[in-house]
Structures are given as structure tokens and as C-alpha cells.
Chain A
Amino acid sequence: MTTDVLSTATQPVPLPPELTEDAVPPRRPRWSRVFGHMRKSKLAIPGGAIVLVFIILAILAPWIAPHDPYRNDLMMMLQPPSWTHPFGTDELGRDILSRVLYGGQLSILEGLFSVGLAMSVGVPVGMISGYVGGRTDTVIMRLIDIMLAFPGVLLAIVIVSILGPSLVNAMIAVAVYTIPIFARLARGSTLSVKEEPYIEACRAAGMGHFRILAKHIFPNIANTLWVMAALRVALAILTASSLSFLGLGAQAPSPEWGAMLANGRNYMLIAPHVVIFPGAAIVLLVLGINLFQDGLRLALDPKMAER
């Protein structure tokens, strides 16, 4: 029986005309299929739209900001919103709308840079840990457990206290604190894929371990990772701006939203707009990402979405 199958399989079988290459119906591009699935979530499209608007505003900030975000004007201190200053001015007379627009660049950078860095370390480590198994796996997972033993943002705070406060160090700290999450997820997904017949087939075909990991395991676990990445971008923005708020991230003249709130807090009794506009900007951006993430989950990770 098996010999039959093998012998016919090695024969070049002429394809029926409808299955030759030209006749294959054009497959919808991948992004189009993902978008189609995403529309199942009512919230993903408005969420994505919010994120897109923030990205466009952040890129265009130098052209559309009505004022210089760093220029002090002590005659115009703590002015309430008006036509010349739609979001009012802060304690040094700087235009809050311009600062919020420039701050968008920093927040988007915080989210993308921290999560990108965390993934580029955590994913390979987790995949290797799951793929190799044995003692390597045990040692790596123990290290991950230790990183996870620091509650919440505390690990990020410890790292900033070692590196010294600055926006770049805060982003590195958020990345380090996010690494164990990606390492765990990548390890778990690798474990579940590793025993699949197609991986065994790769190994039987004599493929190298690196190639199997990069070309065959990674594409199969990538969807889960992207869904987590979207969630973590939202959390990274919250954490990095919290560090800035605590004085451990972006420093004084920087229009980082968390730092703006930290300064504005002292004036909130007489000029609440100083805290409300940058605060609302963070909420709206993070909410947009969270909504978008919900749709991404439905589109990329249907198994997870059933729960």
C-alpha cells in the first residue's frame, strides 16, 4: 500500500487544467482577509481610526502645532482655553495644544520602542527555551520567574533607578519588564507547535534548527505574538508615562504627557485644563489601541477569541 503511494507520488502527474498555476483563483491578500475578520468586532474600526488619527497628528506636529511647544511666555501663564490657545497655556505660558501634539510623538515612540525591544529579546529566548527544552529551558524559565516576581511596574522602577532617570532609560526599563511576558508566551506557543507533524517533517528532511525556528515555528506563532504586542503597546505607554509622571522618565521641558501632568498637578486647583488635556490624550490613545487590539484578536487568533 505504502509503496504504491510512494511510487505514484514520485511520478510526475500531469495536472488537470483547472489546477495549473494560471487557473488558481487569485487569493485575497493577507491584509484584506485580516481586515475582513476585524470587522466582526464592532469596536476595532473606531479603535483603529483613533490610533491612525494620533499617528497622523504626531507626524504632522511640526507643521500643524500652532505655537512652539517649548517657548515660555510668562505674560500668558495658565490661561484657560481660548481661540489662540485652544487647550490653554501651562505654568510657563507654553501652548498646551502644541505640547500635546508633540507629546504624541513621544508616547507612540514609548509604545513601539519598548515593545519592539522586548519582543526582539523575549521572543527568541522563549522560542529557544521551548524548542530546546531540558536544562536550558529550566534555567531560562527560572530567570523569567525571578523577573516576574517583581510586582507590576516595580521592576521598571528598579531598572530606572540603576540606569538613572531619562526617557530612553524609562523605555529600556519598560522593555526589560515586558521581556518575560513575551518569553513565556513564545515558549508556550513553541511548545504547542513543536510536536506538530510538519515540524517533524522538517527535521526528517534534515533542516537546521535555526531554519525550523525562523521559517516554520515563528510564522505559526506570530499571530498570537502580534495580538499580545498590541496589548503591550497600550500598557507600555501607560507604564512609561507613569515613570515620567514619577520623575523617572522624560525630564523637565519635554512635552511628554505624563511629565506634563506631573508639573500641571501643582496648578490643577486654579487651572484644571493643565492636567485634563494631556491626561485625556493618554486615555484616548490607549483606549484606541485597546479597542483595535480586540479586533486584532478576533482576526488573528480565533482560538483565543472564543473564550
Chain B
Amino acid sequence: MATFFARRLLQVIPVIIGVSIAVFLMLHLIPGDPARLVAGMDATAADLENVRRALGLDQPLPIQYFNFVARAIFGDFGESFRTGRAVLDEIGFRYWNTMLLGCAAIVFGTVLGVLTGIITAVYRDSWIDSSVLAVSLLGISIPPFFLGILLMLVFSVWLGWLPLTGMESWRHVILPAATLGIPNAAIISRITRSSLVEVLNQDYVRTARAKGLSELVVIGRHAVRNGMIPVVTVAGLQMGYLLGGAVVTETVFAWPGIGRLIVQSISARDFPVVQASVLLLALTFVIINLVTDLLYRLLDPRIKLK
């Protein structure tokens, strides 16, 4: 296990380096001179030269990259073009807002998905099964921005139960979390169902039934436990995709998170903020995948440690 852990950690390093190179190159791939981007359109040649020197843009690319990484490790991503504040100050609290939304969404999606998955596995091939299938197909076919708008229309505008936008109280979290979590629930529900159906055909389930255990104990104690292993992996991977999906959901609900910040910064051509936000989200995604992978092996000792 320890060797597997170490190997898996080592595999992550080239990916992190690659991501940092990609994010670093972003500023240089944008058509036009990065110095002009900073100095503004009406800057003189002397201004441009000053900016170039101040940002180290006059140095060769590998050295610039090295400086970028060295500063990034200490949390220094420069200053926002738009507000002039340190990039990390702009990102910090928004990152946690996004994580809060992501966690609420994964809880919502997993609870709903596992529950409907268990129900459809137990009552498989009944009308309940097919109606849940129909709803989950709708769940993966609806674009997140439309789902968000529909939920807003129904629960905020027509029923008036929940607030429209912002994040003042826990009630503000419900609709964005549902928007992010519903497609997720659809996927988790299908995985739970197929995994559980497989488990329900196993000998030990038949044994449990044969010794006279109630159906609730058979399913709750014997089947669900073993059927949950693939669900953990999928839920973990989905958490990563939620980080990407958050960009759209945060824009719909005016949620002050990092995804909305990215979209606003792109429109304002505020590239230091875009770079730092993208790097942070990608690193989070890599770490979540790593943890999921390790958790999966811990849960199921049968999996060969390659």
C-alpha cells in the first residue's frame, strides 16, 4: 500500500508541472504583447519598456517560468489588472465559496443519487425504475444554466420559497447546489443501480436471505455496503467536474465564487487572476482525483495494487 501511495504521488508531479507550464504560457499565447496588456493601449514605448522590465518580460521564457513558479509557491501571483489588489486576496475567499458550493452539491447529488439508485435496484424493471430512468436521462440532458434558470423561476419567482441570487444565508445555497447536484445525482443513481443489481445476484446475498434476514437488513447491511464501492469513485470524480460546472452555476446565481471570477476576469482581460484561478482549480482537481483513487483502494482490498 505504501509503495502504491508513493508511486501514485510521483505520477501526480509531472501533471502538476505540465499544468503550471500550460497556465504560465497562457499569457504568452494571447495574441498581442503582454506588456501592452498591462500598460494599456495609450502607453508610450518607454512605458512599455518599464513594464516589461518590472514584470521580467524581457527575460527568456524558461527563466520567466521559473520565476512564476517560485512566486506562485509563496502565493504571489502578482496584482489584478482590474482592481490593483494582490491576486491571492481576490481569489482567497471566493475559492472557499466555490468549495462550499461544491461540497453542498456533492452531498445533494450523492444522497439523491444513492437513494434513487437503491430504490430502482430493489424495484428494478417496475414503473418506478423506468420513471427514475426517464428523469435521470432528463437530468443529464439539461444544460446547467437552463436548469438553474428553471429552478429559479419555480422556487423563487412562482413559489417564492427561496431567494433568487447571492449568498447571505444557508437558504441561498439550496438552488445552486441543486443545479450542480442534479446531473450528478442522475449519474450516481445509474451507477448505484447497476452496482447494486450485480451485488444482489451474489451468493452471499442469497445466503443472507436464506437464513431468514429481513429484506431491509439484507439490502441495508449486506448489499449496499458492497455496492457502494464504485459509487465512491464516481462521486469523487464528479466532485472534480463540479468545480468546472461551478463556472456556469455561479454565473446564473451570482454566487461570489472563483468560477464567476474567472468569467468576469476573462471579459476584463485580467489575466493574472485567470491564471491563478485556473491553476488553483486544476490543482484541487488533481488532489481530489488522487484522494479518490487512494480511497477506492482502501475500501476494496480485492483490487490489485499495480
Interface residues in chain A, defined as those with a beta carbon under 8 Å from any beta carbon in chain B: 142-143, 145-146, 149-154, 157-158, 160-162, 164-165, 234, 238, 241-242, 245-248, 258, 261-262, 265, 268-269, 272, 275, 279, 282-283, 286-287, 290-291, 307
Contact = CB atoms under 8 A, between A and B. Distances in A.
B157 interface: yes
B208 to A, nearest CB: 25
Given A150-B285, A151-B285, A153-B247, A142 B146 contact: no
A12 B18 CA distance: 60
Nearest to B138: A287
Given A157-B262, A162-B29, A246-B263, A149 B286 contact: yes
B266 A157 contact: yes
The residue in A246, A262, A268 that gathers the most chain B C-beta atoms within 10 A of its C-beta is A246
B137 interface: yes
Given A157-B263, A161-B274, 14 more contacts: A145-B14, A150-B19, A150-B244, A151-B240, A151-B241, A151-B243, A152-B240, A154-B247, A160-B266, A161-B266, A161-B271, A164-B31, A245-B145, A275-B149
A286 B15 contact: no
5 contacts: A143-B18, A158-B23, A283-B141, A290-B137, A290-B141
A248 B247 CA distance: 12
The A interface, classified by DSSP as helix, strand, loop or mixed, is: helix
A146 B241 contact: no
Contacts of B266: 157, 160-161, 165, 248
B72 to A, nearest CB: 16
Interface in B161-208: 194
Given A261-B145, A286-B141, A247 B267 contact: yes
B282 A265 contact: no
Given A150-B278, A261-B146, A279-B146, A272 B153 contact: yes
Contact of B18 (A149, A151, A160, A282): A149
Given A150-B282, A158-B26, A247-B263, A283 B143 contact: yes
